[in-house]
């Protein structure tokens, strides 16, 4: 976040902002985690500021030189799901937000996050079987607001199994200011123009989040005993639905069986209710008939 000096000039605690403005002494100046403090005049100016043409999109391929071009470029054909981060995520002693790396089972590589909320979104995306690729800090948008040059780096780019690209900004509702709305709105228009979808997401519902965090501990394929997994699927298929506790005790010792069962729930080979009930031995498990299609 940014602080104000006695003279009202912004001071940054992080040196690589997510969205910036060349003249930060008025209007919408933003830092890595949000918008600078506003006075009444700047808030009114931000709300009324006309958003003009986005000039360029820039990204760093996994290999090779940076690519920077206007909106007429065939951006939807670019593999942004494997892009290198366009900006470094800051990490330092005393930092208020928690940055880190998530090992993504979908891509078999690490994805960076800047907060617990971002990490939780990455967990959810990793669990989404339609997602086949994911990159953090995937590109930078350079555009003009109220006649002044600005830039914004979205949080994530997702690629789906049908080829769609999805750009995501992660920000809880309570942390969105007037300047963020302008920037997010412009980002949405740009994404639509180049063929990507765009969304801003906040915190996940607590029950679903708790369940996904638990299952994520079993996301790596190494926890799966193939023979146990096959027996679990066969038993569920024959019974229609079975509780987690009964299923584990039927197949073998629960300590040996549950890791494979949780892995199959993570990969969607088996399914249970994750949105409204916390996982327990009473959770009912069914076969996912759409798995593998």
Sorted by where each starts, the structural domains of the chain and their CATH numbers stand as 52-201 (3.40.1350.10), 206-287 (1.10.10.10)
In whole numbers, what is the pLDDT of the chain averaged over residues? 84
Percent of the chain surpassing pLDDT 90: 69
pLDDT tens, residue by residue, 97-124: 889 999 999 999 999 999 999 999 999 9
CA distance 125 to 48: 35
C-alpha distance from residue 48 to each of 41, 148, 182 (Å): 11, 14, 9
Q: pTM score > 0.95 for this model?
A: no
pLDDT tens, residue by residue, 165-187: 999 999 999 999 888 898 999 99
Judge whether 57 and 71 are in contact, CB under 8 Å.
Answer: yes
Among 140, 131, 181, which Cα is nearest to 161's?
131
Q: What is the DSSP letter of 201?
A: E
């Amino acid at each position: 976040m940014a602080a104000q000096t006695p003279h009202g000039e912004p001071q940054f605690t992080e040196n690589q902002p997510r969205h910036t403005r060349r003249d930060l002494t008025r209007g919408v100046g933003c830092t890595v985690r949000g918008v600078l403090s506003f006075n009444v005049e700047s808030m009114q100016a931000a709300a009324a500021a006309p958003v003009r043409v986005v000039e360029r999109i820039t990204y760093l391929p996994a290999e090779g030189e940076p690519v920077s071009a206007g909106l007429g470029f065939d951006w939807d054909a670019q593999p942004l799901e494997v892009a290198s981060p366009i900006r470094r995520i800051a990490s330092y002693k005393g930092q208020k937000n928690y940055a880190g790396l998530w090992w993504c089972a979908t891509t078999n590589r690490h994805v960076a996050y800047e907060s617990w909320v971002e990490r939780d979104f990455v967990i959810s995306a990793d669990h989404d079987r339609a997602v086949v690729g994911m990159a953090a800090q995937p590109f930078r948008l350079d555009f003009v607001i109220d006649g002044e040059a600005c830039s914004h780096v979205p949080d994530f780019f997702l690629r789906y199994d049908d080829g769609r690209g999805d750009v995501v900004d992660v920000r809880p509702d309570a942390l969105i200011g007037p300047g963020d709305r302008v920037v997010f709105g412009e980002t949405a228009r740009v994404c639509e123009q180049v063929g990507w979808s765009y969304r801003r997401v906040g915190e996940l519902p607590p029950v679903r989040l708790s369940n996904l965090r638990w299952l994520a501990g079993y996301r790596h394929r190494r926890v799966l005993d193939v023979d146990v997994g096959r027996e679990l699927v066969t038993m569920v298929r024959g019974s229609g639905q079975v509780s987690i506790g009964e299923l584990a005790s039927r197949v073998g010792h629960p300590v040996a069986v549950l890791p494979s069962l949780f892995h199959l729930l993570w990969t969607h080979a088996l399914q249970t209710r994750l949105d409204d009930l916390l996982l327990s031995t009473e959770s009912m498990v069914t076969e996912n008939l759409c798995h593998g299609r």
